[in-house]
Amino acid sequence: MANTKSALKRAQIAERNRLRNKAYKSAVKTLMKKYVNAVAVYTANPTPELKQEAEARLSEAYAKIDKATKRGVLHPNNGARKKSRLAHKLKPVTQTAQ
């Protein structure tokens, strides 16, 4: 337990930030999973509608990753790596579907 008023306040701030960071990270993971599932569905049956759905999910995931990076929840290199991995999941599928 914190002994001083300032240490108590820092502990409270750290807890608040931890919960905020946890929410951002969870949302990023959820959106990434939704995107991967959309790509899997598109791979099984390549139609323009499913491609549009996958691209919409990619856009949502990119936005959340960028926001988490901007807020300092994710390191910039970590955010860039996640975005790159997401982009590479769709790329081979779209090349074979053309």
Provide the 10 A C-beta neighbour count for residue 31. 20
What is the pLDDT, as a whole number, of residue 2? Answer: 75
Q: For tokens 């919409």, what's the residue? A: 56
Convert the pLDDT of each residue in 1-36 to its tens digit. Answer: 778 999 999 999 999 999 999 999 999 999 999 999
Q: Global pTM?
A: 0.84
**Range 14-95 classified under CATH 3.40.50.620:** no
Residue 5 to residue 62: CA distance in whole angstroms:
40
- Contact predicate 58/35, CB 8 Å: yes
Alpha helices in the chain (DSSP H): 5-44, 48-71, 76-97
